[in-house]
Amino acid sequence: MKLIHKALTGFLLTTSVYALDTSSVDISLSTNSISNTQNKKNLEELLKEHTEQVRKLVQKKSNIVDPDEVYQVMLIEMALIDEDYDEYVRLVSRFSKQHRLYPEYIKIALMSLPMTSRTEEILEPAKKLYKLEPDSKPLQALMGLLFSISGRYDDLEEILSKNIIFKKNMSDEEIDQILESLSGILKIMPEQTKALEIYQKYTQDLIHKTPMYWRYLAEFSLTAKNYAKAWDAALKHFDTAQDRSEAIEIIYAFLALPEYRQRAYEKIRFYNLMSENPLYENTELAMLLHSDEKSRPLAHDFAKWLRKTYPDVPQYILVDALMSYIEYDDTSALRYVDEYMGIATQKLKDDPDNDSLLSSMDRAILIKLDILIREPNNKDFKEILRLLAELPEDKYEFKYYIAKSEALMHTWRVPEGLALLQDTIIRFPEYAQPAISYGTRTLIDVGRTQMALDLVKPYYEANPKSGVYSELTAWAYQASGNTKKAEEVYRLCLKHNPDNVPCLNGLGYMFADLNYNLDESLDLLRTASSLEPNSPYIKDSLGWIYYKLGMADMALMYISDSYSDVPMAETAAHLVEIYYVMGDINKAKQVAKEGLKLYQYNDYLPNTLRKLKLDLNQGSHENH
């Protein structure tokens, strides 16, 4: 408990006397029963999160830290943790008489108890104290929060009628202070339609409506789903606010509403024209629009407008590139990236220290790299290495180290690539398994099967029940021609885990390819298919065993589906052989030509063409 109380001090330094943004607090409270132990655990976790904030605050030697106040507030929180609610209310009352009382602080204290039923336990002693001091403003503030969060609206209005009074000739500051107090109480109400109703009721006599009035009306109308009223209020807030950055944030919320999306977009675009940092603001808006598929047409329209309006800002080309990348339109994305790089390179010759261009150039490299890395076919390993050489090392992530290792191996610098892979495993121990997986597969691809075995075997021997390491080890044995050892590894894996899909598929496919144990192969692959029916790899394997069993039509259905999902050279080879055997030579040649354009992980497709004596350079044959 001492450790908890020590952590509490840190929490309180960040929550007691500072103005808190109540809108940032999650106000959804569960009514389910939670144990006291769980309550304390939740609160402890909350407090720990604030410890680092406090450390930074103290390091800055902030003059807003009042040790006496911190101590008193700590006692209040300790009373909450210890569930001594009479003491909690007494301390709150004493504290509020001696210091400035921010209702937001009390709200945070209530929120730290994650369920409404805890409010009831605080409410009873609070009522007793309030009955003794009904004119106490601090107690009225506390009771208002308690009544609001527990849904006691009649009691709440009795409190509000005493405190929410707008007089003539009030200054904007005085009006806003009352509005802030009212909104802090209403935001924690469980029914936001009721919150809007009460807000309008207590502000109806307000003659001079400040920007803050419109802001809260917009917020309460939004949460109450009265969108027409919310939009009108948001516009009035935007038109009257001195700081429009706050007003525009509310307008952003309307991008999520189809009927207001166009109007919100036009308003935000207008605001961004006046912004001091239009590059950041515009890029943010474009990507926010693009994040919702329904508003992507607007995002693309905005991107075109940006390039037309700001022809001297090439960074906007990357907005198009990034959107195309997200949409998997890699051809367009690469075209935009290359266009940007060409323009930026020329500009950097004249202004080599342009930080904005340099930063965007790094972003362009990352987009292009990510496209080349994720592309399974026709990987340009030399281009990947060139781009990685231009990328600052502080931008490197795990995937870039792996990509460099793979590219080095594929450009016949295998020892260098393997050394980098080993270094990457040390650098990122939490990603050892995917690193070993990438490394083993790449070494097999480049024909270094013994090196692949040497890489994966220590991990397999240390984790013989691991499905991933079992599959990789079996695959390495199979690639080296030791199918007997591969079968042993697969069977041991399935002994530990009969439903391991990679091993079911691996063993079943190996049998089918070897034309061996075909009945068992079918059983294994049917089991794998029942567990992962949409896997393109299992569809290909299942189709291949059907072909080996003489069921060409069934085989064609599965393998065509697999090839449509994920075009791979080996799958193309299977289709070529099936079409050839079925007599459709033209189709076999067509698929073969397509398959040869894909990345050749091995010689499977060329070997198939040699086996079938299929000459792609000869004219089309009539089907036979």
Query: Residue range 519-540: average pLDDT?
Result: 95
The per-residue pLDDT for 193 is 93
328: left (phi over 0), alpha (psi -120 to 50) or beta: left
The per-residue pLDDT for 284 is 84
Which one, of 68, 51, 67, 69, lies nearest residue 8 by Cα? 51
The per-residue pLDDT for 52 is 46
- The answer to whether 106 and 112 have CB atoms below 8 angstroms apart is no
**Helix 449-462 / helix 467-479 crossing angle, nearest 10 deg:** 150
Q: Which amino acid is at 620?
A: S
Give the pair of three-digit tokens for residue 11: 């929490």
pLDDT digits (tens, 9 = 90+) for 552-594: 999 999 999 999 998 988 999 999 999 999 999 999 999 999 9
3-state secondary structure of 2: helix
pLDDT digits (tens, 9 = 90+) for 296-338: 998 999 899 889 888 888 889 999 999 999 998 999 999 999 9
Query: Residue range 436-450: average pLDDT?
Result: 93
The 8-class DSSP code of residue 99 comes to S
- The answer to whether 472 and 436 have CB atoms below 8 angstroms apart is yes
Query: Residue range 155-162: average pLDDT?
Result: 89
- The answer to whether 510 and 486 have CB atoms below 8 angstroms apart is yes
pLDDT digits (tens, 9 = 90+) for 20-36: 222 222 323 232 333 44
Which one, of 583, 581, 501, 603, lies nearest residue 542 by Cα? 501
**Helix 244-253 / helix 258-273 crossing angle, nearest 10 deg:** 150
pLDDT digits (tens, 9 = 90+) for 89-114: 777 777 766 655 444 444 445 544 43
Distance from C-alpha of 266 to C-alpha of 277, rounded to nearest angstrom: 18
310: left (phi over 0), alpha (psi -120 to 50) or beta: beta
- Out of 194-208, 284-298, 560-574, pick the least confident: 284-298
Give the pair of three-digit tokens for residue 199: 């807000």
